[in-house]
């Protein structure tokens, strides 16, 4: 894969660890560029997650259906890693999909090949261990944010922490992310 398209990804890596040249090359060899149009699924529901994604440009979300209702689990912006970990780490099919919310440029990392690299490059295993540890910590914070906060508090927190989401993402997706209906979100936004 072209070096130009991997600049941002390797910059992210540097936050966690310094990779040897060989390790960088090994990773570059299992990366593929993906361009995807707004509203298209990057990965459909039912597929086992065998790719870890990195966003160079655009926004994506993980979503699933509960009783026929579309629920957004999470949003992902530029320079973040996306994976449906409940599938990636278990080998089971995922009930979730990944969708681009803007025209996006993405790097796909082949997970099986990555896991093989772990054997010959402990530094790569360490890098991804740290990446997912950080994602795990974020998920724990998310639970705190949900437990014992009203919808209004959650909305205001989002407004503080990630105002971009509200600017770039349809509110209907934000609503389910906050655990409320679209109509409730609209009402809350209308307050004051």
Partner DNA sequence: GTGATTATTTATCATATGATAAATGAATAG
Partner DNA sequence: CTATTCATTTATCATATGATAAATAATCAC
Q: Is 151 in the site for its own copies (CB under 8 A)?
A: no
Residue range at the interface with DNA (CB under 7 A); choices 46-54, 112-120, 134-142, 175-183: 175-183
Spatial distance between the Cα atoms of 142 and 33, rounded to a whole number of angstroms: 30
Strand-pair category, 97-100 with 41-43: antiparallel
Q: For residue 117, what are the contacts with CB-CB under 8 A and spacing of at least 6?
A: 23, 26, 27, 30, 124, 125
Q: Which is nearer to its own copies, 103 or 132 (CB)?
A: 132
Of 20, 32, 38, 133, the one binding its own copies by CB under 8 A: 133
Residue range at the interface with its own copies (CB under 8 A); choices 15-23, 52-60, 131-139, 157-165: 131-139
Three-state DSSP state, 184: helix
Spatial distance between the Cα atoms of 189 and 192, rounded to a whole number of angstroms: 8
DSSP string, 4-44: GGGHHHHHHHHHH-PPPHHHHHHHHTTEEEEEE-TT-EEE-
Q: Is 141 in the site for its own copies (CB under 8 A)?
A: yes
For the CB of residue 87, give the shortest distance to its own copies in the complex, in Å: 9
Q: Is 146 in the site for its own copies (CB under 8 A)?
A: yes
From the list its own copies, DNA, none, which binds 89 (C-beta under 5 to 8 Å, kind-based)? Answer: its own copies
Give me 53's structure tokens: 């994604």
Q: Return the residues of window 25-54 that contact DNA according to CB under 7 A.
A: 38
Q: Is 134 in the site for DNA (CB under 7 A)?
A: no
For the CB of residue 173, give the shortest distance to DNA in the complex, in Å: 7
Spatial distance between the Cα atoms of 138 and 151, rounded to a whole number of angstroms: 19
From the list DNA, its own copies, none, which binds 161 (C-beta under 5 to 8 Å, kind-based)? Answer: none
Q: Is 1 in the site for DNA (CB under 7 A)?
A: no
Q: Is 70 in the site for its own copies (CB under 8 A)?
A: no
């Amino acid at each position: 894969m072209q070096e130009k398209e991997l600049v941002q990804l390797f910059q992210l890596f540097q936050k966690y660890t310094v990779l040897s040249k060989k390790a960088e090359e090994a990773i570059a060899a299992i990366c593929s560029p993906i361009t995807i149009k707004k509203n298209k699924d990057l990965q459909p529901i039912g597929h086992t997650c065998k790719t870890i994604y990195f966003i160079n440009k655009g926004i994506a979300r993980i979503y699933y259906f509960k009783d026929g209702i579309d629920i957004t689990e999470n949003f992902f912006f530029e320079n973040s890693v996306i994976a449906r970990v409940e599938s990636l780490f278990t080998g089971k099919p995922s009930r979730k999909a990944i969708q681009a919310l803007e025209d996006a440029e993405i790097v796909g990392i082949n997970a099986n090949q990555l896991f093989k690299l772990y054997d010959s490059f402990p530094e790569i295993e360490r890098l991804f261990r740290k990446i997912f540890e950080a994602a795990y910590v974020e998920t724990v914070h998310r639970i705190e944010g949900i437990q014992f906060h009203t919808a209004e508090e959650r909305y205001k927190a989002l407004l503080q922490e990630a105002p971009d989401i509200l600017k770039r993402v349809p509110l209907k997706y934000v609503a389910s992310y906050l655990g409320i209906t679209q109509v409730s979100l609209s009402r809350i936004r209308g307050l004051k």
